[in-house]
Amino acid sequence: MVATKCREFSDRGAVWRNALLPRLLRALAISTVGALSVIFFFRYQIANGFTQLFGDRYDGVIELSILEHWYNVFRGLSHWSQTNYFYPVAGSLGYNDGYFIYGLIYAAFRTRGVDPFLSSELVNITVRLIGFATFYIACRRVIQVTWAYALLGALLFTISNNIFIHMFHAQLLSVSFVPLLAVLAYGAFESLSAERWRGLLIWGAAFNLLFSACLMTGFYMAWYFAFLACATLGTWIAMAGRQRLKTTFAALRKKSVPLAILLCAAVLANIPFMSLYLPKAIESGMHPYEVVFQYTPSVLDLVHVGDHNLLYGRLQVLINEYLRPGFPAFSERTTGFPLLVLFLFACAVVSLWRQRHLQDSTVILFLRALAVATVATWVLTLHVGPMSPYYLVYHLVPGAQVVRVVARYQIFLTAPVIALAMFYLSQNASRTTAPILAIVCAFLILEEINIASPLSLDRLHELTRLKAVTSPPPECEAFFVSAARPETLFGPVIDGIVSHNVDAMLIAETTHLPTVNGTSTFVPPGWNLVNPESRSYHERVTAWALQNGVRKLCGLDLKTMHWDLPP
């Protein structure tokens, strides 16, 4: 009896050592690396006690005003499509990215008493944590690499050089939702292949909801996902072979009912987005090709990592000096990849293309399609001299005319590029000695480090100014900025357009008094409330108010923080 109990106890110990303990250690490693990678990404804010934040008082505050709008929506104080700026234009949210998912997270922090500026940075941290976790899951489920390389890939994705240096535009962090979209799409495809009706509906519905939320959050990354997904699907069809296509179409016919349900659900889920943004796109005419072309990357921009990259910064300076003198040290086109991860991605593409004997493997076939589609769509965004194949994309692909900064596609491509690089590394790890492998992994991490500090938003100063705004007079229907703050940022031309309008947007959302001011890439027809120091400014404000039926318009002097009552 005692011997039996001892054996049972020993067996339980063996199960613990062989199964549970490794899982716990793995979970500890994943959570530790995830926390450290996010801490590293936000290292400057943590070091300064969150007094200086990502962005500046223009783009950063525009985003913040929209986040505060969602906070008002969830409290029942505002209609979801109607911000408190550009008053009284309907659907004013449609002039900018919607930041919907960000707004959900932001509202959670605001309801706990966190100030607006800190809440917006905590949103960024939360989104980056989501990106790390879902990239790891995507590498394990979709790419199917070992957990160690999935962990390395998640680390590289989280600290990515090109995302970090563009944190003046926090909406680009919505790339963090791309791995989750991939996981949900893969789950739906897997359920379809296995003819699991319930699984197909669950995975497909989750994908529909997240994709529609991503469209309402940041159009660029959602559109890029659809762009690459369609290219990957087309490539997969071309490569699949007759028998596989026959089997797939048979499965589609069998699941026609749930697929029809999912299609209807997708249409319903995107009605808010389409009803808001389609009229604004028609109204604005979107971006002309001549403007879009200026933001297409050149071949040199494939490796344009910025002058402050830890390993390649000096090389970048030399490339610009000798090959394109006068090119700015930093621009919207500074979105390139470090050399080693780009090399491993290229190796993965070549390796997958050569593995024709493995084309019956579902995973290999998908990865081949993804690799070819990534390269093909990437080439379509490039320009050589005055020519770019993106001309065809611009004129033929729905939604392309909304995208102005085409070079941001390289930020989106951090997901497939790093994932495929990890696949290649994982596949060839057994052929490489441990010291060499360790050096490669260390080098991959080091080349993603950028020592620039894209922090220009002074949280305490902006909070002080925001709190200095007293409650507006009760007789005011709306307000306009009668004088801008005296501080300068980018010079009189840009400041005259943006400074007073940005301040008005945030004040309108926090005081719940709408403003006729505002700013965005596109503005309402007939709106021209710029340069408050010019003689005609007050005349233009009056004309806008009369044209739109605003009768009790107060002024707010941002130099003295004094309200002027309407006449």
H/E stretch holding 271 reads: helix 271-284
pLDDT for 43: 97
pLDDT exceeds 80 at position 518: yes
314: Cα separation from own chain's centroid: 28
Q: Which residue has the higher pLDDT, 358 or 119?
A: 119
Output Rg (C-alpha) for the chain, integer angstroms: 26
Closest listed residue to residue 415, CA positions, set 102, 103, 218, 162: 162
pLDDT for 196-211, tens place per residue?
888 999 999 999 999 9
pLDDT for 21: 72
pLDDT for 251: 79
pLDDT for 565: 81
Q: What are the structure tokens assigned to 307, written together?
A: 């002058």
pLDDT for 344: 97
pLDDT for 4: 58
> Taking a C-beta distance cutoff of 8 angstroms, is the pair 530, 481 a contact?
no
- What percent of the chain has a predicted confidence (pLDDT) above 90? 82
Q: What is the mean pLDDT of residues 48-72?
A: 96
pLDDT for 341: 98
From CA 53, how far away is CA 143, in angstroms rounded?
Answer: 35
pLDDT for 13: 56
Phi, psi of 456 (to 5 degrees): -135, 10
Q: Which residue has the higher pLDDT, 249 or 164?
A: 164
From CA 531, how far away is CA 483, in angstroms rounded?
Answer: 9
pLDDT for 313: 94
In DSSP notation, 24-61 reads: HHHHHHHHHHHHHHHHHHTHHHHHTTTSEEEB-TTHHH
Q: Which residue has the higher pLDDT, 329 or 483?
A: 483
Which band of pLDDT confidence, cut at 50, 70 and 90, is reported for residue 194?
confident
pLDDT for 8: 56
From CA 1, how far away is CA 83, in angstroms rounded?
Answer: 75
Q: What are the structure tokens assigned to 111, written together?
A: 């309801």
pLDDT exceeds 70 at position 544: yes
From CA 519, how far away is CA 500, in angstroms rounded?
Answer: 9
> Which region, left, alpha or beta, applies to residue 375 given φ > 0 means left and ψ of -120 to 50 means alpha?
alpha
- What 8-state DSSP symbol labels residue 473? P
Closest listed residue to residue 296, CA positions, set 408, 198, 211: 408
pLDDT for 299: 96
pLDDT for 406-416, tens place per residue?
999 999 999 99
Q: What is the chain's length?
A: 567
pLDDT for 185: 96
Beta bridge partners of 515: 479
Which band of pLDDT confidence, cut at 50, 70 and 90, is reported for residue 567?
low
Burial of 206 by CB count in 10 Å (0-12 exposed, 13-18 middle, 19+ buried)?
middle
Which band of pLDDT confidence, cut at 50, 70 and 90, is reported for residue 432?
confident
What is the residue whose two structure tokens read 């997958």? 352
Provide, for the chain, the percentages of residues in helix, strand and coil under a 3-state DSSP scheme, each rounded to the nearest 5: 65, 5, 30
**Which pTM value belongs to this model?**
0.93
> Taking a C-beta distance cutoff of 8 angstroms, is the pair 189, 159 a contact?
no
pLDDT for 459: 97
Q: What is the mean pLDDT of residues 163-171?
A: 94
Which band of pLDDT confidence, cut at 50, 70 and 90, is reported for residue 451?
very high
**Average predicted confidence (pLDDT) for the chain:** 93
From CA 352, how far away is CA 368, in angstroms rounded?
Answer: 6
From CA 567, how far away is CA 564, in angstroms rounded?
Answer: 9
pLDDT for 513: 97
Which band of pLDDT confidence, cut at 50, 70 and 90, is reported for residue 1?
low
pLDDT for 336-375, tens place per residue?
999 999 999 999 999 998 765 455 578 888 999 999 999 9
pLDDT exceeds 80 at position 18: no
pLDDT exceeds 90 at position 85: yes
H/E stretch holding 288 reads: none
Q: Where are the domains positioned within the chain? A: 2-41, 79-96+470-564, 122-455
